[in-house]
Chains A and B, each alone.
Chain A
Amino acid sequence: MEKILEVNNLHVSFDTFAGEVQAVRGVNFHLNKGETLAIVGESGSGKSVTSKAVMRLIPNPPGRIKEGEIKFGDRDLAQLSEKEMQKIRGSEISMIFQDPMTSLNPTMTIGKQIMEGLVKHQNMSKSEAKERAIELLKLVGIPNAEGRVNEFPHQFSGGMRQRVVIAIALACNPRVLIADEPTTALDVTIQAQILELLNDLQEKMGTSIIFITHDLGVVANIADRVAVMYAGKIVETGTVDEIFYNPQHPYTWGLLGSMPSLDSTDEELIAIPGSPPDLLDPPKGDAFAPRNPYAMKIDTEMEPPLFKISDTHYAATWLLHEKAPKVEPPAAIKKRMQGMAPSEPIIGAKDGGKNV
């Protein structure tokens, strides 16, 4: 498997009047060619900051990449100058933002906005770029592309605008696409269309996607692999099947348990008590410990390392230590584990998702 992007020990901090907010605290992950990696977490978990750091879009000041490397091919993006970064942004790595209402320029026709990158990065002439813009609009499923290329963003609906944003992001055939909650602002039927479009485009163009979301339904739909973030760290990572059918971290249990399933009976949802820690002053030990019903004494003392469950599956919880007591996961989680792997042990390697 070819690794297209590798992030090692990334630390991102923001200097505020109150002190240093450690938004990302040592994140490691990689992205394989042609796959979709979903980064899941709640607001404030550092998932958006991580993706913005990859694009070097962290405003400085107040933000800074404190430590770590972002390997893209043989380059370290963390070390590049702004000028070198500009050549990569939009051409080799592109980004789709959450809100299609604000990520388009209201005073430019959408055609011009698509052409911008093509003229800048690919030295196309204006007429070539326009032709390509129409092609792209057709590709993302906008009817009557020839006519609509001259229209302004306000003439498009929310879902259509997000298609335009995707067209802009794909204009230069990027190798990596970072989608930061691209469907959160959309209705379910429109969301379904956009997800189908992304799946479809990935198949056609072989783009690698980092998909950031808090919606586990969307993750199950689009991801090959999943990284679960909490308080600036990745607490569990694995193939989509490993995360959904054999989750090991109590935080992942909490996330999965707090969503009602459509066939659920009237049992109470497993809410994760409390709220995420303040990253101005991250707690000692495991940051999830205060909200974790399974917390042990060691959790307040020492941070757990990532324990290996399979070649693709890792989780940072002391529960996986050989000396830890065996605990029963919540009933809903046990059902997930049994539903998928009736004869297998609860903790065990499984061959994973579709493309792995």
Chain B
Amino acid sequence: MSSQEKLLEIKNLKQHFKVGKSTVKAVDGLTFDIYKGETFGLVGESGCGKSTTGRTIIRLYDATDGEVRFNGEDVHGKKSAKELKKFNQKMQMIFQDPYASLNPRMTVSDIIAEGIDIHGLATSKKARMDKVVELLETVGLNKEHANRYPHEFSGGQRQRIGIARALAVDPEFIIADEPISALDVSIQAQVVNLMKKLQREKGLTYLFIAHDLSMVKYISDRIGVMYRGQIVELAESEELYRNPLHPYTQSLLSAIPLPDPEYERSRRRKIYDPEKHLPKNGEERILREVMEGHWIACTEEEYQKYQVTV
């Protein structure tokens, strides 16, 4: 994996929000890479900072500190409007709520073509419409849908429209922030299958943010587990599920109920108590690689121990 080309490098990313007199450290020092063509899953519980991370990477928020490099270029440096536009075309986002993320007063074709218009990707009205129809067909809708309004669609169909909009400007990288959480189980599978198909066909790279760990494992090549604004463990998804090392990851995995009654009868949940997991002498835990591709936030002493057990 490490030989692969890095599409996105995130270094010591911080996003702090001022709330009254105090500061909420929503994202507090994230460092990780996303390789070209992979799906990187970011999981954690509500409030861990996973959505903020996604929004900061795409510059919906200005980062408090740190660096995001996309294709080697710094995203968060001061940029001209023109440079920003170029960057916005390469990076797109799919949102969680397919009801709130589509403008109810715009037709589907205008929603999808908004990016095409902004970036001037269509030379004529006909070319614009052709592109919209092509996109609708790519996501499993058809051209009759182009002149309708969002309220005429079901949740799963709306999410397809959101995906078509993201694809309209031929992005390289898509951030999907809980794209299936609001959908029914049978529809979730449709959307996930579609995303996988598009990735194969267009060579897309995904950052997939979710709290549903079984779906994340299914779709991701590598997974980062977030806890309180930091990544506590990062590994290839098979490895993470087979061999979770950080106690928080272990507790998270052991809490997932699976559709298997026999397994459920014997499942024992591990409880993570951050108070009992304080590092000695207040030493800070940093992300270290304990075996190839498997990183854990740990102190020097813990690092030695992990290496022995591995």
Contact = CB atoms under 8 A, between A and B. Distances in A.
Contacts of A272: 186, 189-190
Interface stretch (A88-96, A217-225, A309-317): A217-225
A258 interface: yes
Interface string B200-217: 000000000001011101
A219 B259 contact: yes
Given A192-B269, A271-B189, A272-B189, A259 B255 contact: no
Interface stretch (A8-16, A100-108, A170-178, A183-191): A183-191
B185 A255 contact: yes
A157 B264 CA distance: 27
Q: Is the interface of B mostly helix, strand, loop or mixed?
A: helix
Interface in B176-196: 184-190, 192-193, 196
Nearest to A42: B184
Contacts of A195: 257
A220 B260 contact: yes
B257 A261 contact: no
Given A217-B257, A256-B259, A259-B259, A275 B217 contact: no
Interface string A58-102: 000000000000000000000000000000000000000000000
A275 B156 contact: yes
Interface in A231-274: 240-241, 244-245, 254-262, 264, 268-273
Between A216, A221, A254, the greatest number of chain B beta carbons within 10 A of the residue's beta carbon is seen for: A221
Given A258-B189, A271-B193, A275-B187, A187 B261 contact: no
A244 B257 contact: no
B241 interface: yes
A25 B255 CA distance: 36
Given A255-B186, A269-B192, A188 B214 contact: no
B243 interface: no
A33 B215 CA distance: 36
Given A189-B252, A220-B263, A268 B193 contact: yes
A214 B261 CA distance: 16
Contacts of A262: 214, 217, 241, 256, 258
A353 interface: yes
Given A260-B215, A354-B265, A43 B184 contact: yes
Nearest to B265: A354
A188 B255 contact: yes
B218 interface: yes
Contacts of B193: 268-269, 271
Contact of B255 (A189, A219, A260, A354): A189
A340 interface: yes
Contacts of B101: none
Contacts of B241: 262
A215 interface: yes
Interface of B: 45-46, 154, 156-157, 184-190, 192-193, 196, 211, 213-215, 217-218, 241, 251-252, 255-265, 267, 269, 272
Ranked nearest first, the 9 interchain pairs of A and B with the lowest CB-CB distance are A217-B257, A258-B189, A260-B218, A272-B186, A271-B189, A216-B259, A269-B189, A187-B45, A42-B184
